[in-house]
Amino acid sequence: MELVIEGNALIDKEIVKCCIGVEEGKIKAIKKILKGEKHHDFGDKLILPGAIDAHVHFRDPGLTHKEDFGTGTTSCAFGGVTCALDMPNTLPPVTNILALEEKARNADMKAFVDFGLFAGVSLNCDIEALAKSAVGYKIYLATTTGDMLIDDYKALEGIFKDINETEKPVSVHCEDEALMDRTLNPDSLRKYLKSRPNICEESGIKKVLNNRGNAKAHICHVSTSEGARLIENESITSEVTPHHLFLNSNSDIGALGKVNPPLRESKDQEALWNALSQGTIDIMASDHAPHTLDEKEQFETAAPGIPGVETMVPLMLYMVKQNKFQLERLVDAACKRPGEIFHLKKGRLAPGYDADIIMVDMRSEAEIKGKNLHSKCGWTPFEGFSAIFPRFTFVRGEVVIEDWELTGERGYGKMVIGNHMGMENKE
Ligand code: NCD
Ligand code: ZN
Ligand code: ZN
Ligand code: ZN
C-alpha cells in the first residue's frame, strides 16, 4: 500500500483495531495487518471518517472580507471537515452556469479540502444546465443574507419537478415570510425570535412537503420542535446546526447569536437533540455564515449568520466524551449520511471510498477561543466551550493537519459534484 493508517477505527458500527490501506487517495483495504510505504501507527487513538459539512457560506467571490475559500477550507481542515458544500448566496449569486463555473475555478485554486457547490434557484434559472457542475440546488423561502427569495409559491411545484429530473438533492431554507412580524425592530435575541416565530418554520416546511413531488428535498437548519415533529414520518432528509443545538435565545451573546432561523427556546433544543439522536434529523451541518465583528456590532442592523465549520465536530466529540451523544450516531450524521444524501464516495471507512480520515485523541480537550480559529471573521459564539479538535486530518490520503497544525496545500482541494445518474465525481 502507498499509505497505511493504523489505530482504533470506527468501521461501520464497531471500533476495531486495524490498518486502513490507501492507494491513489482511496481506501483500498481494511485489515488487521497491512504493509505500507508510509505507515502512521496511531496506537489506541481513534480513527474516524472526515466529516462532510453540507451547508457552508465561504463568501467567495464577492464577500471575501468575511471569508474566502482558503480561510474557509483551512477552518474545515482544523475542524475535521474534509469536504464542504458551499451555498450560492455569493456575489454574483450562483444562479447561472457561468457564475457556477467561475466560482469552481476560483475555489479550486484556493481550497485545502474538497468542496462542492450549490446552484441557487431563481425564478428563471436554467436548472438543467446547472446540473453539470452543481452538487445540489438551494431554494430560499425567506429573505436572509443574499437575495434569492422564492416567494412565488405557485412556482414551487414546477421548480421541484425540474430539479427532480436532474436527480440532485435540493436544500431548502424554510421560513414563511408572510408569518414574520415586520413591525418589531428587534434589538435582542428574544425579540428577534418573536419576529420570526416557530410557526414560520412549520409553514415553510409544509410548503416543501406539499410541493416537492418526487424531488429529493432536504430541509436546512431545522430549529423548532414543530419542525422536527413535522418531518418525523416523512421520507425527507434534514439537517440541524450546532448553534441550534447548543445555544438558545437566552444565550448571553447579543448580535453574535442573530441568525436565520433564529435561536429558539430550550424546549426546541431538547427536541432537536432527540431528533438528531434518533435519526429523524439525518445530518449535522454548520450553516457556517461568517460576518465581521463590525457587521455584528448593532443588533438592529447586524447581519444574520453564525460561523461554525471548525467547531462542529470538536463540540460533538466533547459531547461523546461526556456520554451525552453516541459516537456511532455522530459519525453517521456528520459523515456517512451527508455522503449518501449528496451521492459522494466519502464519509465512510470502507474500500472504494475517498481516504478522508481524521485521528482523534479523546484525551486532548481544548477550550474554544475565537482568536485561535481560522475563519476570517475571528469570532465564535462558542467562546469558552469545551471541545476536542482532531489531531490529524487526511484528505484523499494526504495529510492536511498534523499534530493540530496545518500542513496541507492551498489548491489541493478538489470539487465534487456527486455521482448522480451514474456520473462519476469530477476529477
Ligand atoms: C446565512 C448567511 O449569512 O449567508 N445567514 C443565516 O442567518 N443563516 C444565510 C442562510 O443560510 O440563511
Ligand atoms: Zn438558511
Ligand atoms: Zn445558510
Ligand atoms: Zn484544487
Per residue in 173-197, pLDDT tens?
Answer: 999 999 999 999 999 999 999 999 9
Is residue 275, in this structure, part of any structural domain at all? Answer: yes
Q: Tell me, yes or no, whether 87 and 9 share the same domain.
A: no
Q: What's the pLDDT score for residue 425?
A: 41
CATH code of 197's domain: 3.20.20.140
Ligand 1: nearest atom to the Cα of 303: 3
Q: What is the mean pLDDT of residues 156-172?
A: 96
DSSP category for residue 288: B
Q: Tell me, yes or no, whether 322 and 367 share the same domain.
A: no
CATH code of 14's domain: 2.30.40.10
- Among 87, 91, 144, which is best to mutate for testing ligand 1, by the most ligand atoms less than 8 A from CB? 144
Q: Which residues are catalytic?
A: 287
Q: Tell me, yes or no, whether 23 and 134 share the same domain.
A: no
Residue identifier of the C-alpha nearest atom 11 of ligand 1: 287
Cell numbers given for 135? 452538487
Q: pLDDT tens digits for 272-289?
A: 999 999 999 999 999 999
Domains in the chain, number: 2
Query: Does position 13 have pLDDT exceeding 50, yes or no?
Result: yes
Residue type, 406: L
Q: What is the mean pLDDT of residues 415-422?
A: 79
Q: What is the pTM of this model?
A: 0.97
Is residue 280, in this structure, part of any structural domain at all? Answer: yes
Q: What's the pLDDT score for residue 427?
A: 32
Given 294, 315, 341, the domain boundary residue is 341
Q: pLDDT tens digits for 334-393?
A: 999 999 999 999 999 999 999 999 999 999 999 999 999 999 999 999 999 999 999 999
Is residue 419, in this structure, part of any structural domain at all? Answer: no
Q: Tell me, yes or no, whether 264 and 361 share the same domain.
A: no
Q: Tell me, yes or no, whether 63 and 172 share the same domain.
A: yes
Q: Tell me, yes or no, whether 113 and 195 share the same domain.
A: yes
Higher pLDDT pick, 78 / 12: 78
Is residue 95, in this structure, part of any structural domain at all? Answer: yes
Residue type, 3: L
Q: pLDDT tens digits for 193-245?
A: 999 999 999 999 999 999 999 999 999 999 999 999 999 989 999 999 999 99
Q: What's the pLDDT score for residue 148?
A: 62
Average pLDDT for the chain: 95
Is residue 67, in this structure, part of any structural domain at all? Answer: yes
Q: Tell me, yes or no, whether 128 and 237 share the same domain.
A: yes
| Rounded distance from Cα 171 to ligand 2 centre (Å) | 9
| Rounded distance from Cα 145 to ligand 1 centre (Å) | 5
Q: Tell me, yes or no, whether 106 and 248 share the same domain.
A: yes
Higher pLDDT pick, 13 / 291: 291
| Rounded distance from Cα 105 to ligand 4 centre (Å) | 8
Q: What's the pLDDT score for residue 421?
A: 53
Q: How far apart are CA 219 and CA 171, in angstroms?
A: 6
Query: What is the domain range of residue 368?
Result: 3-48+351-406
Q: pLDDT tens digits for 314-324?
A: 999 999 999 99
Q: What's the pLDDT score for residue 308?
A: 98
Taking CA atoms, 122 is separated from 155, 204, 214, 359, in Å, by 10, 17, 20, 41
Q: Tell me, yes or no, whether 125 and 203 share the same domain.
A: yes
Ligand 1: nearest atom to the Cα of 290: 3
Q: Tell me, yes or no, whether 214 and 332 share the same domain.
A: yes
Query: Does position 395 have pLDDT exceeding 90, yes or no?
Result: yes
**Does 40 sit in the ligand 1 pocket, CB within 6 Å?**
no
Q: Tell me, yes or no, whether 232 and 334 share the same domain.
A: yes
Q: Tell me, yes or no, whether 111 and 43 share the same domain.
A: no
CB atoms within 10 A of CB 176: 20
Given 287, 310, 341, the domain boundary residue is 341
Long-range contacts of 209-213 (CB under 8 A, 24+ apart): 209/234, 209/236, 211/153, 211/156, 211/157, 211/160, 212/160, 212/236, 213/157, 213/160, 213/161, 213/164
